[in-house]
Amino acid sequence: MAPHSPSSETTDAARKQELRRAALAARDALGVERRQVASATIARALLALPELTQARLVAAFWPIRSEVDPRPAAEGLLARGQAVALPQVTREGLVFREWRAGDTLVSGGFGLSEPDPSLPPVDPDALIVPLAAFDRSGQRIGYGRGYYDGAIERLSRSQPLFTVGIGFAVQEVERVPAEPHDRPLDCVITEAGLIRFDRTA
């Protein structure tokens, strides 16, 4: 069977759905206090990451459900004079707009809090990426709509782009089935530490 024949892609998609469900269940099972402590550890690691220190404009996100909370990291970036953007889901994919502490957010689809849609779009050179699951090769599973894969592909066309996924250690899986549209991450940070992926191999 060809590596990405229609039937193998269907199998990969089904396997990803299983892995997504299991990883999200493991994430949801973490206690609130444990998630808060882990999120604080992850935020500190994000602020210490050299690639984010050097970034001109970093895109973060507003957490939903039991996700890692990157807001302390976003506030830390702003405090040291860096620009931060947040994503908005549109029919064309993710659009990023600059965010400043105290800015009012609007309700978007999927329960998301998004920046004011009247603000001009911007192109970040670093992305803090949410995930449902990840593996040690840098592949991630999102929520199944491909928004971040599309944004990574688009932004990478015009400039170097650094991507860091954030999740809890329980969201790691042995292997994510990679599909043709998937865009691997440069690194992942969990409360257990930083995992870098070698893109030169």
pLDDT in tens, the chain (201 residues): 344 555 566 788 899 999 999 999 999 999 999 999 999 999 999 999 999 999 999 999 999 999 999 999 999 999 999 999 999 999 999 999 999 988 989 988 777 899 999 999 999 999 999 999 999 999 999 998 899 999 999 999 999 999 999 999 999 999 999 888 889 999 999 999 999 997 654
Q: Which residues pair with 155 in a beta bridge?
A: none
Dihedrals phi, psi of 37, to nearest 5 degrees: -65, -45
135 CB neighbour count, 10 Å cutoff: 20
Q: Quote the CA–CA distance of 38 and 192 in Å, as a whole number.
A: 9
Nearest to 138 by CA among 191, 192, 190, 199: 199
pTM above 0.85, yes or no: yes
For residue 102, the enclosing domain spans 6-196
Q: Please count the structural domains in the chain.
A: 1
Please check whether residue 100 is in contact with residue 78, taking contact to mean a CB–CB distance below 8 angstroms.
yes
- Does residue 56 sit within a domain? yes
- 154 contact partners, CB below 8 Å, separation of at least 6: 93
- Does residue 173 sit within a domain? yes
- Does residue 134 sit within a domain? yes
Chain mean position to CA 162 = 11
Helices (H), the chain: 6-29, 32-48, 50-53, 71-79, 147-158
- Does residue 201 sit within a domain? no
- Does residue 126 sit within a domain? yes
